[in-house]
Structure 1
Amino acid sequence: MTAIERLTTIIIWTVACAVALFMMAPLVVAVIVSFSASPVFNLPPPSWSLRWYTILASKPELLDAVSLSVQIALISTAISLILGTLCAIAVAQGRFPGREAISTFMISPLMMPGLVLGVALLQFLRGYGLRDAYLGLLIGHVVITLPLVMRNVQAALSLFDFSLLEAARTLGMAPPKAILKVLVPLLAPAYLTSGLFAFLSSIDNYPISMFLVDAHHKTLPIQLLVYLESSPDPTIAAISTCLIVLTVLFLLIADRLVGLRRLAEF
């Protein structure tokens, strides 16, 4: 390795480490503040305490928001996995005109600003007389999670040998059973990756949810904003730390089941 190559490698690693530290710093600050005994956001904390985690358990509005967000995230992810797989198979195997246009249209919600999409969904749902906040939130979150699933599954299908499905059908399997027995296991890394990103995208969504909630159905990001405006304290940092731990657990489970290196391929 020449001197220029060594210098280039050092610069690249230095920049990469600096970017990683810059992106991780807010997470580290949130975790530290969540264990502070101070009622304000002091850094470094004057003393350590678990009081904010104890207070968190006594906030029913926050716990209700967590419950609602998890429910919406789980259901919308499950629906998106089913619909996304079917759409990806249709686009990958179909030979109909406009196939590429449909594929682009399906991922278009990822290209639009969240506020624009939220206003459009609000007008659309109200135009059809749908005023149920829970159902509206579910539809809105399916709209934003479906493209994530379809894009990952479609990329995985480009590497899948569809003759395996034909072989399974030749051996007597019905088409739905062949998909469950042959296609789904081979695409498990893609499902795990897309499901993980869809769940986290749903539970963390703010710009769309703020147009679809009501007084009785508030997702966690909306409730956190309300709490931050009314009584800001490190309880918010405690919730953030719990979400960080949840994300790390998801990644550890994914690593044990599939492996992060294989997940990165999708």
Structure 2
Amino acid sequence: MTAVERVASFVVWLLAAATVIFLLTPLVVTVAVSFGSSAVFTLPAPSWSLRWYQALGRSRELWPVVLASVQLAALSTVIALALGTLCAIGLLRGDFRGRDAVVTFLVSPLMLPGLVIGIAMLETFRAAGLRDVWASLILAHVVITLPYVIRTVYAALSLFDFTLIDAARTLGLSYPRAIMKVLVPSLAPAFLTSGMFAFLASMDNYPISIFFTDAWTKTLPIQMLQYVEESPDPTIAAISTLLILLAVAVLVVGDRLVGLRRMVDL
């Protein structure tokens, strides 16, 4: 390795380390503040305490919101998995003009600002006469989670040999059983990966959910914003820390069951 290559490698690693530190510092600060005893956001904390986590346990407003967010994320993820898998199969196996344009259209919610999507869906739901809060939230969250499923399952299907299904049928399996025995196990990593990302995307969504919640039905990000506006204490840092732990747990589970490298490849 020449001197120029060594300098270039050092600069690249230095920039990578600086980027990692820049991205992780807010998370570290949030976690540190959540364990402080001060009633305001202070670092270094005068002493360490679990008072804000204990306050979360006593909160009567938080846990119904958490339960509603988990239910919404789980239901929208299941629907997105079913619809996204069917869309991916149709796009891959179908032979029609404009297929690439359809693929781009289906993943377009990832490319547009959330506020733009939220306003568009709000106007659409009003024009269609949809007023129910839960139905609106579920449809909206399916729209924002569907791209994760379609992209991941489409990539996995492009690597699958569909002649294996025909081979299973020649061995006596019916078409549905061949699908369950051959295709589904091959797509299990894609289902797991896309499902986890879809669940996290639904749990963390704010710019779209804000248009469809009301005083009686709120999601966790909406409730967190209300805490910041009404009582800005480290309780919000404790909630954020738990969400960080949720994301870390999802990555650990994905690594154990699929492997991070394979998740990235999907």
Corresponding residue number in structure 2 for 1:90: 90
SS in 1 for 2:45: coil
Q: Which amino acid aligns with 1:58?
A: R
TM-fit CA distance, 1:132? 1.2
Q: CA separation in 2, counterparts of 1:2 and 1:18?
A: 24
Q: Which amino acid aligns with 1:133?
A: V
Corresponding residue number in structure 1 for 2:158: 158
Q: CA separation in 1, counterparts of 2:51 and 2:191?
A: 39
Report the more deviating stretch, 171-180 or 88-97: 171-180
TM-fit CA distance, 1:123? 1.3
TM-score, normalised with respect to structure 1: 0.97
Corresponding residue number in structure 1 for 2:242: 242
SS in 2 for 1:135: helix
Corresponding residue number in structure 1 for 2:2: 2
RMSD, aligned CA: 1.2
Residues 172 and 96 of structure 1: CA distance in aligned 2, closer, same or farther (over 3 Å): farther
TM-fit CA distance, 1:112? 1.5
Output aligned runs, 1:40-119, within 5 Å. 40-119=40-119
TM-fit CA distance, 1:52? 0.3
Corresponding residue number in structure 1 for 2:262: 262
Corresponding residue number in structure 1 for 2:193: 193
Corresponding residue number in structure 2 for 1:183: 183
Q: CA separation in 2, counterparts of 1:259 and 1:168?
A: 28
Q: Deviations over 1:115-154 (max 9, x none)?
A: 1110111111122221111111111000000011101111
Q: CA separation in 1, counterparts of 2:45 and 2:120?
A: 44
Q: Which amino acid aligns with 2:123?
A: Q
TM-fit CA distance, 1:247? 1.1
Q: Percent identity?
A: 61
Q: CA separation in 2, counterparts of 1:86 and 1:176?
A: 14
Q: CA separation in 2, counterparts of 1:174 and 1:103?
A: 30
**Aligned pairs, number:** 266
TM-fit CA distance, 1:96? 2.1
Corresponding residue number in structure 2 for 1:143: 143
Corresponding residue number in structure 2 for 1:131: 131
Q: CA separation in 1, counterparts of 2:177 and 2:21?
A: 47
Q: CA separation in 2, counterparts of 1:174 and 1:137?
A: 38
Corresponding residue number in structure 2 for 1:24: 24
Long gaps (5+) in structure 1: none
SS in 2 for 1:60: coil
TM-fit CA distance, 1:170? 2.6
SS in 1 for 2:256: helix
Q: Which amino acid aligns with 1:147?
A: P
Q: Which amino acid aligns with 1:226?
A: Q
Report the more deviating stretch, 30-39 or 96-105: 96-105
Q: CA separation in 2, counterparts of 1:217 and 1:185?
A: 37
Q: Which amino acid aligns with 2:176?
A: P
Corresponding residue number in structure 1 for 2:217: 217
Report the more deviating stretch, 119-128 or 196-205: 119-128
Q: Deviations over 1:217-241 (max 9, x none)?
A: 1000011111110011000000011
Q: CA separation in 2, counterparts of 1:64 and 1:240?
A: 17
Residues 60 and 173 of structure 1: CA distance in aligned 2, closer, same or farther (over 3 Å): farther
SS in 1 for 2:61: helix
Q: Which amino acid aligns with 2:9?
A: T
TM-score, normalised with respect to structure 2: 0.97
Q: CA separation in 2, counterparts of 1:183 and 1:126?
A: 40
Q: CA separation in 2, counterparts of 1:225 and 1:30?
A: 15
Corresponding residue number in structure 2 for 1:35: 35
